[in-house]
Amino acid sequence: MAHLLVVESWVGAMSRLLPRSIAEAGHEFTFLTRNLDHYLRSWRGPGEHPLLGAKSVLTAETNDPAAVRAAVERAHRDTPFDGVLSSCDYYLETAATLARYLGLPGCDPAAVRRAHRKHVARRVMADAGLPTPGYATAVTWADTARAAAEVGYPVVLKPVDLCAGMYVRRADDEAGLRAAYGALAGFPVNARGQERDATVLVEEFLVGPEVSVETVTVDGATTVVGVTDKAITGATSFVEAGHAFPAPVPAADREAAVDLALAALAALGVDRAVAHTEVKLTARGPYVVEVNLRPAGNSITELVRRVTGVDLPGAYLDVVLGFDPDLTVRDTGVGGAAIAFLVPSRTGRVRAVTGADRPADADVVEWQIDVVAGQELVATDDNNGYAGRVMTVADTPEAAAARAAALVGCIGIDYA
């Protein structure tokens, strides 16, 4: 049995799936957080929050490196840790730094920082000769406007240090850009209390479907576990409305996405990591959207597990413990799996919800509807504001995706 230190967590699917994988592997974990209530107040599942299954909860200011190190040193003396990890983008570098300090396996903290800081990652990939969309960095409004004019509208304005699609906006003209820039400038501190980097990326708007490449890198060798399809919605935002695995795209596109993802990981110097690399498939070829050095969120890892039998959160545990994960694909009897999200498109008080009862069909493997009558529902423009999710399995990913989307489409929200 190993003892893991989990430094904060994503509040979505990974806050369920990572504790499950730890328990299934026979390990135990200490959960290090600055605010346990941040997780408890968002919990919508049955029973207690899975993070409360920790051996202990260690409270410290996780935004203060000195405080974190002192707290972890004391805990490590009492009950030594065998591995350190996080599923939250904002604490990946913290976890990698702690692992390095304690002499435990893990990805190089410098590589984690290069990948997480989107403008740095873009520059590193461009310097390595990878296909790169037109882009520029800026801080002030004047510089941002000039950058957009140079790149050419439409552009995408992207914060360099946020995740889940937060404040990522398409702008077709300077007025749209000004609105997007102003909204982001009004968010100087993220949801974890961290002061934000004011730098923004201004990028060429890429047209084409989006996929993600799920990989595990150990000792310089990267294994591709699969490629996931991503359904994106939103007029000027980029909200993930659903996913299907394996991605139903032409083999040539899938191979090109994989080759580019592998090149991106190599350019960033990534090793001993589970990665989720998002790629846009355009008429000119593939382009990396971003590289995330953690298992995919939004239940993508569960889609992968149902189709291949490979548990990516479990592989993550092996990687940080210094083991070689078992990535053998097994016949699960499932040809495709998909998830669709209930994305609130407007704000208002809910009068009634229809179609929210879970079907008894065996192909519906997850069903959670979080909206109820009387609730004040807020339209979402990122991946944090879903009102529910439906996961299905089928013989093909196309069939699974169609089924999940149809079920979500039958859920009606009547506003007062």
Tell me which fold the domain 134-204 belongs to.
Dna Ligase; domain 1 (3.30.1490)
pLDDT by residue (tens digit) across 27-68? 999 999 999 999 998 888 788 999 999 999 999 999 999 999
- What average pLDDT does this structure show over 141-160? 98
In the prediction, which pLDDT does 42 show? 82
**210-321 is classed CATH 3.40.50.2300:** no
CATH number attached to the domain at 3-104: 3.40.50.20
pLDDT by residue (tens digit) across 348-371? 999 999 999 999 999 999 999 999
- Show Cβ contacts of residue 378 under 8 Å, excluding neighbours closer than 6 positions: 344, 347, 385
Residue 342 has pLDDT above 90, yes or no: yes
pLDDT by residue (tens digit) across 268-289? 999 999 999 999 999 999 999 9
Kindly list the domain boundaries of the chain, sorted by start residue.
3-104, 134-204, 210-321, 336-415
pLDDT band at 213 (very low <50, low <70, confident <90, very high): very high
Q: Which of 216, 226, 269 lies closest to 248 in space, CA to CA?
A: 226
Residue indicated by tokens 């192909």 = 363
- Show Cβ contacts of residue 213 under 8 Å, excluding neighbours closer than 6 positions: 224, 226, 227, 228, 257, 258, 261, 275, 276, 277, 279
- Show Cβ contacts of residue 284 under 8 Å, excluding neighbours closer than 6 positions: 131
In the prediction, which pLDDT does 340 show? 98
Neighbours of 199 (CB within 10 A): 16
In this structure, the strands spanning 336-341 and 388-394 are antiparallel
CATH number attached to the domain at 336-415: 3.30.470.20
* Whether the domain at 134-204 and the domain at 210-321 fall into the same CATH topology: no
What is the C-alpha separation between 21 and 79, in angstroms, rounded?
21
> First and final CA of the chain: distance in angstroms?
53
Cα–Cα distances in angstroms (integers) from residue 166 to residues 261, 293, 383, 385, 386, in the given order? 23, 18, 7, 11, 13
